[in-house]
Structure 1
């Protein structure tokens, strides 16, 4: 690390960090302890931090480009990159950075002795390191694997660091236990939660505890078998709700519940059909409801 750069005023350093590719910042932070301390003080802003459990990769969406953190095995050679030795929480590791125009990749290789959960430990440690100097309000978790125990994921220890938490995959619902589902809806402290999950507990239906007020302002729910639509607003008592429904009849039922309920919490309700190819059936949605012309979609 050039000495003149470290001697620049902190305000200038902050501007330099925020306009530099994150992959370069990762490299610099690993190689210089003083620079790492400055980075911790002036967080690098990113849009979203995603943990892809299917490919076992960390995806960081910055305002300049995307950065992906991947594991690679001993003996692998990364073209057009230089390897460095570093330590993460007393663990000796090798990392390499390969910069691209729209996407940079940070490769990590651990020298730790073989452990069955070595990959998980490595990702947990690098996540903690990155979050020390990365400022992100949004965290996404995506997975297409059925062999992941979501109850034991390290991410639950740091959820308070985010204002938006997303568990979502466009092609397949993420399997989680009813215990973790109740934790997400009842105890998680975030402004916004998006769930596209299925319960691995057979026959489970979510019920909100009467004595617990949720800490979430906006919740987005994608249709699943773990919730039904009876007493909808008693089960999902959030200010802003976006929910996927299976039919216009269910949409009508929810609207009737809303009109007849004494709900002083709801500020915004959005109901979305599970199929976007079915034309809007306005008469069926408003059946039995007194209404006036509007831009109903």
Structure 2
């Protein structure tokens, strides 16, 4: 249940159920919360083809799982890369605000969130009461790192969640030096063409992404990770911890943090009118 700074439930005019939708470049995530702000259902659908079609598929799936009718929804809150494509949204909230609220639910203290999604990576500063203080993204040329990792897994013929197992078998990572995701993909293919092992290329990809996260200049003492990359590529976090000497906490079910946080905003004024 969402909580205010004094620990009491956040209340507002909406009594639920509420649908939160985080429309990313790789997946559409949907979470339905009941009147008590507990999760009734959630789903994740790959983003392919028209965004509107993927949104419809995700909505249908989560509605069926929740066993409620679409007309029963008190609010639909959209966030993410394709938020504007949620045509039935009653409100929209910034991705950084949605992740701040969703992560603070499980980590009710001051922290820095690193949100690593398919399209973007950002650092979000959050106060002890859950207030988002600031958000900053990486250089534009490092956008698409989640999509790059999905590309890597496909060409390495390994399931995304097992890429770290492949990387663990290497002591000599292939160099993936470009900070441009497009050029990095070309480097990966060139390594495979020239005979580098799948293990070396996997480790090189993990290290490359960890180095890009480091560029954000994130400091402790509490660093919480959200987004699709930690869900599917946990090996990236291991590499980041080794390179930075920073111990991180992964938000529970990190791929749903944004959708969950977006839904929570419907129950209060939190996140309203945020950029």
Q: TM-score band (shorter)?
A: under 0.3
User: Which is higher, the Rg of structure 1 or of structure 2?
Assistant: 1
TM-score by length of structure 2 reads 0.25
- Higher-RCO chain (CA-CA 8 Å, sequence separation at least 6): 2
- Could you say which structure has the higher helix fraction? 2
- Could you say which structure has the higher strand fraction? 1
TM-score by length of structure 1 reads 0.23
